Amino acid sequence: MKITNILVAGHYEDVFRKHFSSTNLYKLRFIPVDEITDEDFDWADAYVGFMPTPQFQLSKLKWVHSFNAGVNNFLEIDGWIENGVLLTRTICSFGQRISEYCLSYVLKELQHQKFFEEKQREKKWVRKPPIMIKEQTIVIFGTGEIGQEVARTFTQFGATVYGVSRSGEQKEYFQSVTTIFDASKVLSKADWVISTLPFTKETDNLFNKELFNHFNHAAFINVGRGKTVDEIALIDALNKGKIRHAVLDVVAVEPLPSDSPLWERKDVTITPHISAITDLDEAVTCFIETLHQIEQDIVPPNKVDVKKGY
């Protein structure tokens, strides 16, 4: 596939020019997403950005590259298969960043940080033995690049790690992988349940009352997509003790509305979708690597299966 004209949604000239400084093979336009016109789409071979424009002209493009790992905002546009447009996503240090995020909250509990902070305020010298990660059972929903990196991190500390995926295909770093339909078999064992799932038709409100009923006082960490969780069912599961604590880096509506009951709960920790913030240098490097693969007719590893949604 020959790519010449690249439409970049945003003012990222400096970082792009730094990486494209050695070649004149490509022409680039840097335009804010809400200022892109039909003429820009007529000109472009490829579109690069965090999100589509309000009037996205998919049929005029050969290739779309998302600066995010998730692509559900692009997949809301119809016509990918009919128009034969390639969709790719960013692969960089997302897995490591998300692993460190998850690890930090697991360690916070196992090392009793909240307990010792309270005792310090009370000026009391009280011992409480930490719990080791190797004593923990962790179930990870999603066994792709990010899920595998999370599994690798916890496996290195000796945890027992199970995976849950659409296919149930066995993957490295997991003791075993089961399908979503058989998830109940491992959920009852879990001390921690971590979701790295993308948002698709199949994962829409996947974490519902029925699934939460299989939790056995586990902690739940969501670093995937907010719309995979039925938040009413989540609150109910917290109230019933099925979930002892929820760490939510993503929620169904972002920013989380001020009237959401999740804000007020002591058994919920909310962060503003920061577990894997895109590093622009990494993202542009990934884009360039993908561009070179496409021009050599190599199927890039970050190609999105538009039927599956990831």
Catalytic center residues? 225, 273
Q: What are the angstrom distances between the C-alpha of 284 and each of 11, 26, 47, 90, 158? A: 13, 14, 13, 9, 35
CA 255, 258, 262, 265 dihedral sign is positive
Kindly report the number of other CB atoms within 10 A of residue 309's CB atom: 16
Strand, coil or helix: what is 295?
A: helix
Q: What are the angstrom distances between the C-alpha of 244 and each of 47, 55, 90, 103, 119? A: 44, 44, 34, 17, 22
**How far apart (Å, rounded) are the C-alpha atoms in residues 168 and 125?**
48
Structure tokens at 90: 């960013």
**How far apart (Å, rounded) are the C-alpha atoms in residues 283 and 1?**
21
**How far apart (Å, rounded) are the C-alpha atoms in residues 119 and 238?**
26
